[in-house]
């Protein structure tokens, strides 16, 4: 079988064996939820509830009148304890609706769905409305409001839908388990996204290290007679195969030009968890209040794939998984390559949190704590950069305070995958400098 890929990339140890065979299980009902009002790209939501107000699971508790935003719902029944600032995985402290959860209830399980659904009985407009009402965002990390992304644009008609099933970051297996355990939900979600967007064709991009998922998907597509409408494309196991531009290149066999975004080429990219959430929204009117989270790493006692209410504190998840081992050095939300280190265990899960990783010094490449040295001019970062950039040249410009020069070297094209830092023998924090440079340039642009 031919495997498709992109130019560049790295192949870190995937460590998925720690949790790949762990079936999805619901997390016991937490005592408190800190539901953040900033969980997506776009306008921040404002609380739609007041202190001491009782809420039911599924009630809207945060919203914004802006077009690019996504509603936020109460995951469980309870009472609003407070509206206060809480730790965000990325943004510091942001406004949150704090809910005292009603106890004595059974935890919610993922919606069971057989695949029986009349696609002709729902219009594209109704699908988009259901997605918006459910507050669905891209769950692969970006968090762009799905209703906005899917809505057809007459000036830029979408002709191709690509579903990212790569899950290329090490450790993470939440999407893998969804593919195995909820195949009908995934495929129905793809058909709904295809209809809503007006796409004429659909692809699933799946890495070769997931043969069981490939088998489940292929058998279901054949059973439903959908193998001509949805094509499964097997890809080389390579990081960052799941990057939007890299995925498009691998699946379609042609790269997107620098500065061009997928919608400009008639392309829509979604991911496994998002497609499953779309099915739940359309079929059962279920809002996005829970998600599957992989809990893994050498520092966690009992790795798992948990169905977690949004707003659950990391501490509750870790406690359920047997706590941390003494050699744990770092906690990360997301993957080890592009995720975010957290210092506070009370940081809550948001809609885009696919994993909680407890990593040991060995896993975090303890050698990186050594002092960085000057660039050795070895060229490894050029070989692995999936965007075809010269990462060290950009990073050096930022380090020397030459931000305009960094712009000339196309710093904005960097996807921050971290491949350059991963292979650097000089321990030069290439990706770190580039992230800093992009942040500084963004601040400068806002100031005018």
> Which tens digits make up the pLDDT trace of 179-188?
999 999 999 9
Contact present, 279 and 185 (Cβ < 8 Å): yes
β-pair partners for 79:
54, 100
Say if residue 276 carries a ligand binding annotation. no
The Cα–Cα gap between 14 and 2 comes to 21
Which tops the pLDDT comparison, 191 or 447?
191
Confidence (pTM): 0.95
- Strands of 37-118 (E only): list them: 46-47, 54-55, 60-63, 72-73, 78-88, 92-101
Q: What is the pLDDT of residue 367?
A: 42
Helix (H) or strand (E) holding 293: strand 290-296
Say if residue 174 carries a ligand binding annotation. no
Q: Look up the CATH superfamily of 124-284.
A: NADH-ubiquinone oxidoreductase 51kDa subunit (3.40.50.11540)
The domain segmentation of the chain, as residue ranges, is 124-284, 380-446
> Which tens digits make up the pLDDT trace of 234-282?
999 999 999 999 999 999 998 888 788 899 999 999 999 999 999 999 9
> Which tens digits make up the pLDDT trace of 413-425?
999 999 999 999 9
Residue 444 predicted with pLDDT over 70: yes
Q: Which of these, 29, 12, 6, lies nearest to 308 by C-alpha position?
A: 29
- Tokens standing for residue 395: 């990073």
Say if residue 375 carries a ligand binding annotation. yes
Residue 67 predicted with pLDDT over 60: yes
Q: What pLDDT band is residue 141 in, cutting at 50, 70 and 90?
A: confident
Q: Which of these, 409, 415, 408, 419, lies nearest to 435 by C-alpha position?
A: 415
Say if residue 45 carries a ligand binding annotation. no
- Tokens standing for residue 84: 């206060």
Instruction: Determine phi and psi for 151, rounding to 5 degrees.
Output: -55, 125
Residue 39 predicted with pLDDT over 80: yes
> What's the rounded mean pLDDT across residues 53-64?
98
Say if residue 168 carries a ligand binding annotation. no
């Amino acid at each position: 079988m031919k495997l498709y890929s992109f130019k560049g990339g790295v192949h870190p140890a995937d460590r998925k064996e720690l949790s790949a065979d762990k079936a999805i299980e619901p997390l016991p009902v937490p005592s408190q939820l800190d539901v953040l009002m900033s969980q997506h790209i776009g306008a921040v939501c404002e609380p739609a509830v007041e202190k001491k107000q009782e809420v039911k699971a599924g009630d809207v508790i945060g919203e914004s009148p802006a077009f690019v935003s996504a509603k936020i719902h109460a995951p469980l029944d309870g009472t609003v304890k407070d509206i206060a600032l809480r730790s965000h995985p990325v943004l510091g402290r942001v406004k949150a609706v704090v809910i005292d959860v009603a106890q004595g209830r059974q935890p919610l399980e993922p919606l069971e769905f057989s695949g029986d659904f009349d696609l002709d009985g729902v219009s594209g407009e109704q699908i988009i409305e259901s997605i918006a009402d459910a507050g669905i965002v891209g769950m692969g990390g970006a968090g762009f409001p799905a209703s906005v992304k899917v809505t057809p644009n007459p000036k830029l008609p979408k002709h191709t839908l690509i579903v990212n099933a790569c899950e290329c970051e090490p450790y993470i297996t939440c999407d893998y388990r969804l593919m195995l355990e909820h195949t009908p939900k995934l495929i129905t979600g793809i058909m709904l996204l295809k209809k809503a967007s007006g796409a004429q064709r659909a692809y699933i991009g799946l890495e070769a290290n997931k043969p069981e998922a490939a088998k489940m998907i292929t058998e279901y597509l054949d059973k439903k007679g959908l193998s001509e409408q949805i094509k499964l494309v097997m890809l080389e196991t390579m990081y960052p195969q799941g990057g939007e531009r890299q995925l498009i290149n691998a699946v379609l066999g042609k790269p997107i030009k620098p500065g061009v975004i997928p919608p400009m080429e008639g392309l829509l990219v979604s991911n496994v968890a998002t497609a499953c959430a779309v099915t739940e929204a359309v079929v059962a009117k279920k809002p996005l209040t829970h998600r599957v989270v992989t809990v893994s790493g050498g520092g966690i006692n009992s790795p798992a794939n948990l169905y977690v209410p949004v707003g659950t504190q990391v501490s509750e998840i870790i406690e359920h998984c047997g706590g941390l081992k003494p050699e744990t050095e770092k906690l990360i939300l997301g993957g080890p390559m592009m995720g975010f280190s957290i210092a506070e265990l009370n940081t809550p899960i948001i809609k885009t949190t696919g994993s909680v990783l407890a990593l040991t010094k060995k896993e975090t490449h303890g050698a990186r704590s050594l002092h960085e040295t000057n660039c050795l001019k070895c060229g490894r970062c050029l070989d692995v950069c999936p965007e075809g950039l010269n990462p060290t040249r950009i990073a050096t410009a930022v380090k020397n305070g030459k931000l305009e020069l960094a712009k000339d070297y196309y710093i904005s094209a960097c996807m921050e995958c971290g491949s350059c830092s991963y292979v650097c023998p000089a321990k030069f924090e290439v990706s770190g400098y580039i992230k800093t440079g992009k942040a500084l340039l963004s601040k400068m642009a806002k100031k005018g």
